[in-house]
Structure 1
Amino acid sequence: MAEALRCGAGGIGGLADFLREYGEAVEWDMARYWPGRSLLELWRGTLSWRELKVFLKFLPPDSATARAVRSATPEDDTWTLDRHLLATVADAVRENTYALVKLQGDPKKTRRLKPPKPIPRPGVEQPKAGKVIRLGGRNPSSSKELAAAFRGGAAAQ
């Protein structure tokens, strides 16, 4: 947020340019984070340009002004780092549960059990269905297929 205030003209001229571009978001944030204050006070003379600059400089990253400056979509803002990490943990638990059921369960009952698909996330590609690794049964995977799968596709030497 502070970087956006520094680019372009400085001082009051820079703040005025900033307000022309992001004024609505600033108005929204003032109502949310500074109740009882308004941008109208700037024009009435009861709010100084310095107070406005300090207010803008310390807005949190999830503020409407910060989102407007970085042109963030609502979906981008919904998926924060902690939500990505939580989805990763949920995927890991589901994969471990699947592996445990497959390894400890009755092969006749778990034969058609499919591995869980990861939770879809914005900006993260869904993995494509690769070759299935078979650890036993009629047609187990060869050592070359297992080596290629665990090396990321490189063939075993």
Structure 2
Amino acid sequence: MAEALRRGAGGIAGLRRFLEEYAEAVEWDIAHYWPGRSLLELYRGQMSWRELRVFLKHLPTDSATARAVRKSTPEEDAWTLVPQLLASVVDAVRENSFLQLKLHGDPKKTGRLKPPDPIPRPGVEPAKKSNVIRFGGRHGSGAKQLAAVFGRPAANQ
């Protein structure tokens, strides 16, 4: 937030340019963080430009003005460090529960149990299916898959 104010440096003229672009967000933040005050007070002479500058400089990162300056979406702003860490913990607990069921459960009942999908996060693409090479079963011996990985024909071909 302070960097955005410094970019348009120039005292009152810089604050005016800043307000031309972000007036609605500033108005919302004044009403939210400074109850009883209004941006109109600046134009009525009841608030100094210095008071406004100090207020803007110390706005929290989740304020409407800071979001407007960053041009971020509400979903992106919702995923700060704490929700990201919490989602990681939930994913770990779910994965651990899955592993406990697979290791200690009845194989007839847990045979088709699939691992849980992680909680979707903005900006993070879901993991693609892994290229796990399976030996035996319906996938054959895996020799063709290994040969494709190492770029050589399979020995039995």
The TM tier, using the shorter chain, reads: 0.7 to 0.9
Shift of 1:132: 4.6
Using the alignment, how far apart are the partners of 1:138 and 1:64 within structure 2?
A: 57
Distance 1:134 1:104, change over 3 A: farther
TM-score, normalising length: structure 2: 0.83
1:125 partner SS = coil
Relative distance call for 1:133 and 1:116 in structure 2 (3 A) is farther
Instruction: Tell whether 2:110 aligns with 1:88.
Output: no
1:38-96 CA-to-partner distances (Å, cap 9, x unmatched) read 11111111100000000000000010000000001011112111111111111111111
Structure having the higher Rg: 2
Q: Which residue is equivalent to 1:14?
A: 14
Are 1:102 and 2:102 matched, yes or no? Answer: yes
1:8-157 correspondence runs (5 A): 8-132=8-132
- Displacement of 1:8: 2.4
Following TM superposition, where does structure 1 have runs of at least 4 consecutive aligned residues deviating by more than 3 angstroms?
131-135
Secondary structure at the residue paired with 1:4? helix
How many residues are matched?
145
| Residue ranges of structure 2 left out of the alignment (5+ in a row) | 151-157
Sequence identity of aligned pairs in percent?
A: 70
Residue in 1 aligned with 2:155? Answer: none
- Structure 1: state its 5+ residue gaps: 143-147, 149-153
| CA distance in structure 1 between the partners assigned to 2:33 and 2:103 by the alignment | 54
Structure 1 133/94 Cα, relative in aligned 2: closer, same or farther at 3 Å?
farther
SS at match of 2:37: coil
Q: Aligned residue for 2:3?
A: 3
Offset at residue 134 of structure 1 (A): 6.6
Answer yes or no: is the 8 Å Cα contact 2:8–2:18 preserved in 1.
no
